[in-house]
A = this chain, B = another copy of it.
Amino acid sequence: MLVQQNVKKNVKGSVRQANHGKIIKAAVTVFANKGYQGATVQEVAEQAGLPKANVLYYFKSKQGIYEAVLSDILSLWNSSFDHATPEDEPAEALSRYIREKLEISRTNPEASKIFAMEMIKGAEQLSDEIKAGMVSWFDARIAIIRQWIKQGKMADVDPTMLMFQIWATTQHYADFSAQITILKDGKALNKRGFQEVGDYLCQSILSSCGLTPEK
Contact = CB atoms under 8 A, between A and B. Distances in A.
A40 to B, nearest CB: 10
A120 interface: yes
Contacts of A178: 119-123
Given A158-B196, A161-B197, A208-B203, A117 B119 contact: no
Contacts of A56: none
Contact of A135 (B33, B123, B161, B182): B182
A172 interface: yes
A200 to B, nearest CB: 5
Interface residues of A, number: 48
Interface in A142-171: 157-158, 160-161, 164-165, 167-169, 171
A173 B205 CA distance: 18
Contact of A183 (B117, B135, B196, B207): B135
A24 B159 CA distance: 38
Interface string A116-140: 1101111100000001001100100
B122 A176 contact: no
A165 B204 contact: yes
Given A164-B172, A169-B169, A34 B33 contact: no
A35 interface: yes
Contacts of A169: 164-165, 168-169
A35 B134 contact: no
Given A35-B117, A37-B37, 8 more contacts: A33-B122, A34-B37, A35-B36, A119-B175, A120-B178, A164-B169, A165-B201, A204-B204
Interface of A: 32-38, 113, 116-117, 119-123, 131, 134-135, 138, 157-158, 160-161, 164-165, 167-169, 171-173, 175-176, 178-180, 182-184, 196-197, 200-201, 203-205, 207-208
